[in-house]
Structure 1
Amino acid sequence: MSTAAYNPITFPSASSFKSSSSEFDEAFEPEAFRSGEDGEDTRKRRERRDPDEDASWVDDPIRLYLSEIGRVPLLTRPQEIQLARQVETTRTRFRRMLLDCDYVLRAAVGLLRRVHSGDLAFDRTVQVSVSDRLEKDHIIGRLPHNLKTLDAILELNQAEFMVVTAKSLGKATRQAAYGRVVRRRRRAVVLVEELGLRLQFLTDMYDEVVKIDERLQYLKAELARCEREDAPVDEWRPLAAEYQRLVRSVQQTPAGLHDRVLQMQKILAEHQDAKQQLSAANLRLVVSIAKKYRKRGLTFSDLIQEGNAGLMRAVEKFEYRRGFKFCTYATWWIRQAITRAVADHSRTIRVPVHMTTEVTKVRKMQASLTHDLGREPTVEELAKATDLPVEETQHLLQMSSFPTSLHVRLGRGEDTEFGDLLPNMSEIDAADNTGLKMLSTRLRAVMQNLSWRDREILNMRYGLGDGYNYTLEEVARVFQVTRERVRQLEARALRMLQMPRHSAELVEFMD
């Protein structure tokens, strides 16, 4: 089934950037990536290189990665535009072909209806440029009218498809009905595209369509087997019911749906290939930017990985019609991904992203003042240089410090960890432990001079028995007396222990 031509769809993205191609001349031509004929000095160094050095070079994944991406040629401006156009074209074709399936179309209309009702956020569901307020207002204004038309089209198509599947009607009638279904569905696709539904929602629906296609192919084969083997009704009737239900959900024959899935897979492969070529030619830009964020808590490989994720995001959002080079556009996305990763994962105690910028500012100024003054600047000097309050500067300096792990090794090849040198405050010193045992024995002996009730009151009030200090109310409930009576008995018992003949046994334990 062929699809009609549609108006081109634009994918707005982040606001435009000022071109700064000079910054990237250096980025794309670092020494590590120069290719071509080796100089005489380079050949001499290679001849003198130790075989063990070659082995270590091969074992280093970072150097291998840099060597591999250095072999990928850079793109010219026409090649860059061609790949960007291919990414956009294949994305548009994939989306239209996917929406031309009634199952996906109904799901897309359901999402847009939830946007209109406020259940889904507009900016997270609809693809619209953040800086283009007019476009956003236009889509919001079109949303209720398009939804009303889409609901009518879906209702008509559902009724018309019953005519298509009615075997009692003539072939010409059924073909005419199917033609009307296709034309209305194509109009519905245009209405949905006008509202700019994000592709990520449709990608999940694509997986569902593939599952439906696989299930229909299986049911078709099973029904053919049942017909050949003259299977009983109980075996083939549930299969036939499920088969008809799935056909009505997609409003397409199984053969037509299978051909559509194959075409979408081909288009999706072309889309991924164009994205891969555009991103592979700019991997060196990621390395160049990642170098500036080393020694901030993440390994170099992690920085490259996060930068590559930002690069892929830039490939999806790039608009070649604005006239900017891709590297100029991608730089912002790469830096954003790396700085976000540094803020989220570089510290054991996470520092908010907006505070990370302030911390970096204070640290840079501290290093500059240290160089100029020949000493560490005071907090007041640092606050004056950064135009920040003294309290905030002190707070930022505290935030910039990193916690030290207790498991860090004290030296290369050493088994001793930093935590092994710290005293364990939870353990009691042996001498103190012996003294406490002697005090406990002597105290129990002295308390034998008290009555049983007085002895138990002191044990409960001071936790001498089970370590829990009972309140006057709790002790009073145990002995069934008033709180005041417990206080009097406690005071009397303490006075008896303070008598010279008793306290003499405990004097040596007093500090």
Structure 2
Amino acid sequence: MVKKLKKEKATSKKKAEKAKTGQAEFLTAEQTISQEMLEQTLDPLFLHKAIESEITPSNHMKTLSDDFDEFELQDILPKDSRAEGPPSPEVIESDHDPIKIYFREMGKISLLSQQDEIDLARQMERGKKIQLRALLKTRPAVKDIVSLRDLADTEPEKFLRFFDETEDFEDDVARKKVKAFKQTLDRFQELANELNSLKPSTRNAFARGRLIIKMYNILEELHLSPEKMANTISRLRDILYILNELEEKKEEAQLALHKTKVKAAVEALKQKLNEYAAEERVYRQETGLKAAELRRILRDISRGEKIQKHAENKLIEANLRLVVSIAKNYVNRGLSLSDLIQEGNLGLMRAVQKFDYHRGFKFSTYATWWIKQSITRAIADQARTIRIPVHMVETINRLKKIHQELVQKTGREPTVQEIAEAVKMPVAKVTKILQDSQELLSLDSPIGDDEESFLRDFVQDIYNPSPADIVIRANLKEQITKAINTLTEREATVIKMRFGIGDGQEHTLEEIGQKLKVTRERVRQIETKALRKLAESALREKLKSFSDTPASQA
């Protein structure tokens, strides 16, 4: 103790001497360095990296460089951030990049052990149990669940979608599921009828509680989550709001009743009180509860929601890195990395809602399937301009894989026949699938580095003539008119009708003869004479120049 006091005294003496001589004082490693001193001492970029590395828990998390390859880091971090010297404006702006901020915040969250996952799953289960048991004390919730039995008969597909466990079932599986659910709901209805027969009293409290527990166990068999009862909960909250308003109106009316002495006013206030009481009885009959009881039930539901959501959020946040590690394997498939991460997060949220810790496997093992399913479904739905069904996308990916294998095996592009034989499918079907899998290009896609020309500039429009063709057609029409004007009236008529000049309809020699009232042979002679004149005309060379143009061929 004496040695320690002497050491501190010597240290303070040295500090006083340095202060007198004006020497700078340097802090030792054991002393605390404030954030302000760091900002004044270190380069901003170096400071940012140092703080970021200290924030990220090294015992639980990998560094970003372990999770992302060089190509992905280049998309996230600007090149200037790796250069020496003061940071450029681009580096400073990169600190506000949403992707970078997302990765930085994600790195602050520790991973969970399997026991941590189980604890959170138990909290979620507890929150759901609180909500469902509270709901079963209300008539609207029980009525809505019982009504599902009728939905199973009328709309079985919609009935299946109502439950968490159901996804895409084949017909046989769907029928078995519907049958099992109907039997379970029949048991639930029996318990509900028994519960309704018991009057809400202290004597029946134990029996009612026992029935509610049995009904809750049935809901667990059905995998019915509180989220599916959101409409019922909303309705109960609306009823409570109305009951609260009625209570306030009753208090105001009673207060006014005590103050007034006018007989007409007293009668009017009593009439209002009777109306409020009648309306209150209607809502109490609907819920089977008084306002105070309904308020307590909704308070329990809110408490259960809070417990469930808190546990779900912690489980989601702790597995965000899993989503990123899976999403980066699907880049360059039509969606950006940020979109892939968002879709993967939706799959993660779905996995959290459906996770059952009783089966004994880790959450990450279970969540991986849901994340991949969500990402692949998003790629199939959003990556293409024209959507291709998911089952067709799987077939296309299979054909592409076979195509690559055949290229590696033969060293050349395989034929459609070879691909069809490899996948054991008809050639016509393979041809159609390959045609459907072709990527679409926008006519506004830029061509070249200068981006001054677009794809539409190089695509021929077969439905509308080009400006050059319009000019050629106009010149051709003008020269033909001049050539025909060198003929006599009868010769011009024969040539126009014979070759469809003007109306576009060609006529036979007999039709022309009937119009001119001459024989067929005479029309042929007039035609021959007119063609000879045109062949010897000075306009022959000009007309000949149009013979090889697209406009004349059209």
TM-score by length of 1: 0.70
**Structure 1: how far apart are the matches of 2:449 and 2:528?**
63
**Structure 2: how far apart are the matches of 1:398 and 1:335?**
27
- Which of 108, 113, 128 lines up with 1:76 in the alignment? 113
Percentage of pairs with the same residue:
29
Q: 1:430 aligns to what?
A: 470
> How far apart are 1:76 and its partner, in Å?
1.0
Letter in 1 for 2:293: G
Q: 1:226 aligns to what?
A: 253
Structure 2 vs 1, CA of residues 152 and 493 (structure 1 numbering), >3 Å: closer, same or farther? farther
Q: Does the 8 Å contact 1:314/1:329 carry over to 2?
A: yes
Structure 2 vs 1, CA of residues 502 and 47 (structure 1 numbering), >3 Å: closer, same or farther? closer
Greater radius of gyration (CA): 2
Letter in 2 for 1:202: M
> How far apart are 1:294 and its partner, in Å?
1.1
Letter in 1 for 2:114: R
TM-score by length of 2: 0.65
- Which of 225, 229, 238 lines up with 1:211 in the alignment? 238
Structure 2 vs 1, CA of residues 399 and 132 (structure 1 numbering), >3 Å: closer, same or farther? closer
Structure 2 vs 1, CA of residues 287 and 502 (structure 1 numbering), >3 Å: closer, same or farther? same
Structure 2 vs 1, CA of residues 273 and 418 (structure 1 numbering), >3 Å: closer, same or farther? same
- Identify the range of structure 1 (431-440 vs 336-345) with the bigger mean alpha-carbon deviation: 431-440
Letter in 1 for 2:363: F
> How far apart are 1:427 and its partner, in Å?
3.6
Structure 1 residues 297-334: Cα deviation after superposition (integer angstroms, max 9, x where no partner): 11111111111111111111111111111111111111
**Structure 2: how far apart are the matches of 1:434 and 1:285?**
68
> How far apart are 1:197 and its partner, in Å?
6.1
Q: Does 1:416 align with 2:443?
A: no
> How far apart are 1:87 and its partner, in Å?
1.1
> How far apart are 1:417 and its partner, in Å?
2.6
Counterpart mapping for 1:239-258 below 5 A: 239-258=276-295
For structure 2, which runs of at least 5 residues remain unmatched after alignment? 1-59, 68-80, 258-264, 548-554
* 2:453 aligned counterpart, secondary structure: coil
Structure 2 vs 1, CA of residues 142 and 401 (structure 1 numbering), >3 Å: closer, same or farther? closer
Q: 1:354 aligns to what?
A: 391
Q: 1:66 aligns to what?
A: 103
**Structure 2: how far apart are the matches of 1:348 and 1:463?**
46
**Structure 2: how far apart are the matches of 1:104 and 1:63?**
45
**Structure 2: how far apart are the matches of 1:253 and 1:491?**
104
- Identify the range of structure 1 (223-232 vs 243-252) with the bigger mean alpha-carbon deviation: 223-232
Structure 2 vs 1, CA of residues 176 and 378 (structure 1 numbering), >3 Å: closer, same or farther? closer
Q: Does the 8 Å contact 2:156/2:178 carry over to 1?
A: no
Structure 1 residues 271-296: Cα deviation after superposition (integer angstroms, max 9, x where no partner): 11111111111111111111111111
Q: 1:364 aligns to what?
A: 401
- Which of 65, 70, 78 lines up with 1:32 in the alignment? 65
**Structure 2: how far apart are the matches of 1:117 and 1:76?**
46
Letter in 1 for 2:65: A
Q: Does the 8 Å contact 2:142/2:192 carry over to 1?
A: no
> How far apart are 1:187 and its partner, in Å?
6.6
Structure 2 vs 1, CA of residues 440 and 319 (structure 1 numbering), >3 Å: closer, same or farther? farther
Q: Does the 8 Å contact 1:72/1:281 carry over to 2?
A: yes
Q: 1:123 aligns to what?
A: 160
Structure 2 vs 1, CA of residues 152 and 336 (structure 1 numbering), >3 Å: closer, same or farther? same
Q: 2:372 aligns to what?
A: 335
* 1:209 aligned counterpart, secondary structure: helix
**Structure 1: how far apart are the matches of 2:97 and 2:412?**
39
Q: Does 1:400 align with 2:433?
A: no
Letter in 2 for 1:73: S
- Which of 134, 141, 147 lines up with 2:189 in the alignment? 147
Q: Does the 8 Å contact 2:348/2:370 carry over to 1?
A: yes
Counterpart mapping for 1:39-118 below 5 A: 48=84, 51-52=87-88, 54-115=91-152
**Structure 2: how far apart are the matches of 1:30 and 1:362?**
38
- Identify the range of structure 1 (381-390 vs 57-66) with the bigger mean alpha-carbon deviation: 381-390
Structure 1 residues 51-86: Cα deviation after superposition (integer angstroms, max 9, x where no partner): 135325324322322222121100011111101111
Structure 1 residues 227-283: Cα deviation after superposition (integer angstroms, max 9, x where no partner): 223473565554443322112211111122122212211210111111111111111
Counterpart mapping for 1:453-468 below 5 A: none
Structure 2 vs 1, CA of residues 176 and 98 (structure 1 numbering), >3 Å: closer, same or farther? closer
Structure 2 vs 1, CA of residues 378 and 311 (structure 1 numbering), >3 Å: closer, same or farther? same
Structure 2 vs 1, CA of residues 440 and 281 (structure 1 numbering), >3 Å: closer, same or farther? farther
Counterpart mapping for 1:110-509 below 5 A: 110-115=147-152, 121-126=158-163, 139-151=181-193, 153-154=195-196, 156=197, 186=212, 189-190=215-216, 193=219, 196=222, 198-199=224-225, 200-230=227-257, 232-233=268-269, 237-370=274-407, 375-383=412-420, 390-411=427-448, 414-425=451-462, 426-428=464-466, 429-435=469-475, 438=478, 492-493=514-515, 499=527
Query: After the TM superposition, which segments of 4 or more aligned residues of structure 1 sit over 6 Å from their partners?
Result: 129-137, 439-446, 462-465, 487-491, 494-498, 501-507
Structure 1 residues 167-210: Cα deviation after superposition (integer angstroms, max 9, x where no partner): xxxxxxxx569859955973784475366262243122111111
Letter in 2 for 1:32: S
Q: Does the 8 Å contact 2:447/2:454 carry over to 1?
A: yes
Q: Does the 8 Å contact 1:115/1:125 carry over to 2?
A: no
* 1:406 aligned counterpart, secondary structure: coil
Structure 2 vs 1, CA of residues 463 and 106 (structure 1 numbering), >3 Å: closer, same or farther? farther
Q: Does the 8 Å contact 2:129/2:304 carry over to 1?
A: no
**Structure 2: how far apart are the matches of 1:463 and 1:213?**
86
Letter in 2 for 1:271: Q
* 2:348 aligned counterpart, secondary structure: helix
Letter in 1 for 2:192: L
Letter in 2 for 1:147: Q
Structure 2 vs 1, CA of residues 387 and 58 (structure 1 numbering), >3 Å: closer, same or farther? farther
Q: 1:166 aligns to what?
A: none
Letter in 1 for 2:369: W
Structure 2 vs 1, CA of residues 282 and 441 (structure 1 numbering), >3 Å: closer, same or farther? same
* 2:141 aligned counterpart, secondary structure: helix
Letter in 1 for 2:94: W
Q: Does the 8 Å contact 1:296/1:346 carry over to 2?
A: yes
**Structure 2: how far apart are the matches of 1:56 and 1:381?**
53
Q: Does the 8 Å contact 1:216/1:254 carry over to 2?
A: yes
Q: Does the 8 Å contact 2:138/2:287 carry over to 1?
A: yes
**Structure 2: how far apart are the matches of 1:331 and 1:123?**
24
Structure 2 vs 1, CA of residues 389 and 115 (structure 1 numbering), >3 Å: closer, same or farther? closer
* 2:438 aligned counterpart, secondary structure: coil
Structure 2 vs 1, CA of residues 394 and 489 (structure 1 numbering), >3 Å: closer, same or farther? closer
Q: Does the 8 Å contact 1:74/1:282 carry over to 2?
A: yes
**Structure 2: how far apart are the matches of 1:111 and 1:288?**
41
* 2:441 aligned counterpart, secondary structure: coil
**Structure 2: how far apart are the matches of 1:379 and 1:30?**
47
Q: 1:17 aligns to what?
A: none
Q: Does the 8 Å contact 2:148/2:159 carry over to 1?
A: no
Q: Does the 8 Å contact 1:126/1:197 carry over to 2?
A: yes
For structure 1, which runs of at least 5 residues remain unmatched after alignment? 1-26, 35-44, 162-174, 470-486
